[in-house]
Chain A
Amino acid sequence: MTSHHDPKSQASKPLAATFAALAKDGRKALAPFVTAGDPDLDTTLAVLEALDRAGAAVCELGVPYSDPIADGPVIQASYTRALASGFTLEKFFAMVRKATGRVKMPILAMVSYSIIYRRGIDRFVDDAAAAGLAGLVVPDLPLEESEVLDATCKGANLALVRLVTPTTPPERAAEIAKRSTGFLYCVSVAGVTGARTDLPEGLVERVKWLRTKTDVPVLVGFGVSTPEQVKLLSGVADGAIVGSALVRRVGELAAEGPEGVARGVESWVADLVNAAR
């Protein structure tokens, strides 16, 4: 799956090891997305531990942003709640440092380039690496603008996970697939994040084709919410990303406190993990 002679894979060791272990067991990756700081960072820490116990392969931790144009109402609302409750990057990195000391699943930050740019690329990447993050997913940074961040991430052994979408022309998709490190994020639909009931037409073929274009695993996200969908995707992809459905769950359970949220999330995610094979 990952070519160990390739110097690029240096940037994604913990991820590579995770995917190799899954492959050995004949399993696929279940990759949950949660919003950091929703409703507060203590809850997020408890949720991360619960996800790890439930067997999640990797976790994407959403960094709240005031103007997330790629996100649907569920994740937008979670960002708004997190920012309203006093989220800052300092507190975020402190929480991540605790989490990465306690869990075995690699954690990546899903973060707007606006936030990275404002902090300074070097400083953001240093902070991310120091906190133990395995990589970054930057949903608003297309290939053309990514040279500097790419080089900086490589220097710090952080993966820079790239996204391909249904509107990406084939040649460009191949280029993105080639340059992605850690894994490749295949966005299932043209649109914003949000749970959907069906998997879109043509997705299976697209994923199969993408897997021939890259050495890194291909994970599918946007709209995945049920064990049935995860099972279906596991037939073609290396894993599935579950976002809005989990974020909604966290929001619904918020009143029960960190432990309550963690409990509710753990059993729900365990069912998804079981379907990922």
Chain B
Amino acid sequence: MPSPLSPPLPAGGISQVPDAHGRFGRFGGRYVPETLSAALDQLQAAYDEARADPSFQAELDQLLAAFVGRPTPLLFAKRLTEYAGGAQIWFKREDLSHTGAHKINNTLGQGLLAMRMGKKRIIAETGAGQHGVATATACARFGLDCVVYMGSEDVRRQEPNVRSMRMMGAEVRPVESGSRTLRDAINEAMRDWMGSVETTHYIIGSVVGPHPFPRIVRDFQSVIGKETLLFCQKELGRDPDCVVACVGGGSNAAGMFYPLVEHKGIRLVGVEAGGRSAKPGDHAASLSYGNAGILHGSLSYVLQDPDGQTADVHSVSAGLDYPGVGPEHAWWHDTKRVEYTSVTDAEALDAFDLVARREGILPALETSHALAWTVKEAARRPKEEVIVVCMSGRGDKDAAEIARLRSLENGGAHA
């Protein structure tokens, strides 16, 4: 019997992906060294088995309820709606989850999978640190060893999360290679996995990487969209008109959108990091400006030079500072089921301030991108319409970095 946390998905069409090879249309797949092939097959088998085992879902649902605090509420953002002066803005409160972001939905699920596979050591990458914290949390809860790779630039700008991870017993390994951000952290985690694959599970933090990761992470995050739909139908008596989420690797967006893709009347919008400008190197908007290419084991949209070398990217938000995106988003992009757009660093920072002052919520800088677009769009839409934005995480981790950026803007005297 399906639990209240996991109502059945609608069948057919766009949601019937990936196929057996992990393909979403032409995207996805598995481009990894042979050393990892067997582990990915094992993961796929363990996941299929777990899905067929009601006790697995029951254990996960129980954790999601009592440990994470699900279902998370939907909040009517009254003063933000007044400010925008148009459509009603609602927040899906993933920021109220234990550890303060959606990432925990995935790490608990994958942690349980790791235990099913008899693996006692966990590795993860993290950008904003939210996935690192969520992984450290799951490992502490389950009694698993935990190593988190994090670019040294991100160690600096997301310092509070580094502290939390260490307090929960995780080892944080700063990564000094390349741009010292999320992409390099994934490289390092993959290299660790190359040598430890028989005893270690890699909990990847977004809907990226080789098959079956994009599907597994999407499924574990789908609770966001399922709850949103259930709430709107029960409490508002209708579907939302528009649903918005920020897109880094794309896990909060995929979790929000996947249960809604067959509801053709709902407009779905993913917001990428527009950075400083549309110039290469100034942003991290793979779907808006990238090409089809392969990065970290799957075919999707990537930011590369014409030789296939990964481009430098920039975002004020560590969690969006990534030159790729999950393959299912590439598929939704090409099938035009989801609209993808971007907002700049400055717009995101303004949205952070606005939501802090008008709603009493410090949103994560990642989330602030989705909020910036939502406020602009709500102003253009009639008052009867309902826009739900995925409040993917809380912004406490960003407060110090934002204060630093603001003081640089004001002449840097207090930096």
Contacts and interface: CB of A to CB of B under 8 A. Distances in A.
Please determine whether chains A and B interact with each other in the same assembly.
Answer: yes
Interface stretch (B29-37, B249-257, B337-345): B29-37
Nearest to A222: B35
A214 interface: no
A117 B307 contact: no
Interface of B: 21, 29-39, 177-178, 183, 187, 190-191, 194-195, 197-198, 291, 293-297, 299, 304, 306-310
A196 to B, nearest CB: 11
Contacts of A76: 177
B34 A142 contact: yes
11 contacts: A67-B187, A68-B187, A115-B309, A117-B308, A119-B307, A140-B32, A163-B34, A167-B37, A167-B38, A176-B34, A190-B198
Contacts of A116: 308
Contacts of A166: 35
A67 B296 contact: yes
Contact of B307 (A70, A89, A139, A143): A89
Contacts of A164: 34
A268 interface: no
Max count, chain B CB within 10 A of own CB: residue among A70, A89, A139, A190: A190
Given A88-B307, A142-B32, A190-B194, A114 B294 contact: yes
Nearest to A69: B190
The 8 closest A-B pairs by CB, nearest first: A118-B308, A191-B195, A115-B308, A69-B190, A114-B294, A70-B33, A165-B35, A66-B310
Contact of B195 (A65, A113, A143, A190): A190
Interface string A187-216: 101111000000000000000000000000
A140 B190 CA distance: 12
Contacts of A165: 33-35
Contacts of B39: 167
Nearest to B32: A140
A169 interface: yes
Contact of B30 (A72, A142, A168, A191): A142
Max count, chain A CB within 10 A of own CB: residue among B36, B293, B297, B309: B309
Given A114-B294, A119-B307, A139-B33, A70 B194 contact: yes
Contacts of A66: 178, 309-310
B21 A144 contact: yes
A20 interface: no
Nearest to A89: B307
A102 interface: no
A112 interface: yes
B37 A168 contact: yes
Contacts of B21: 144
Contacts of B310: 66-67
Given A114-B293, A139-B33, A145-B29, A169 B38 contact: yes
Contacts of B31: 113-114, 140-142, 145
Max count, chain B CB within 10 A of own CB: residue among A66, A164, A166: A66
Contacts of B191: 69-72, 192
Interface string A155-172: 000000011111111001
Interface string A81-94: 00100001100000
B37 A172 contact: yes
Max count, chain B CB within 10 A of own CB: residue among A145, A163, A164: A145
Interface residues of A, number: 43
A167 B307 contact: no
Contact of B309 (A83, A142, A163): A83
Contacts of A65: 308-309
Contacts of B33: 69-70, 139-140, 142, 163, 165
Contacts of B187: 67-69
Max count, chain B CB within 10 A of own CB: residue among A89, A117, A118: A118
Nearest to B308: A118
A162 B32 CA distance: 13
Contacts of A192: 191, 194-195
A162 B34 CA distance: 9
A140 B198 CA distance: 19
Given A67-B187, A69-B191, A187 B34 contact: yes
Interface string A59-83: 0000001111111100010001001
Contacts of A112: 294, 308
Nearest to A70: B33
A68 B35 CA distance: 14
A109 B294 CA distance: 19
Nearest to A164: B34
Max count, chain A CB within 10 A of own CB: residue among B33, B190, B197, B294: B33
Nearest to B189: A69
Interface string A111-140: 011111111000000000000000000011
Nearest to A88: B307
Given A69-B191, A119-B308, 12 more contacts: A65-B308, A66-B310, A67-B183, A68-B187, A70-B33, A113-B294, A117-B293, A118-B293, A142-B37, A145-B30, A167-B34, A176-B34
Nearest to B310: A66
A70 B296 CA distance: 11
A130 B168 CA distance: 57
A218 B351 CA distance: 60
B312 to A, nearest CB: 9
Interface in A168-186: 168-169, 172, 176
A118 B307 contact: yes
A114 B308 contact: yes
Nearest to B184: A67
A67 B195 CA distance: 17
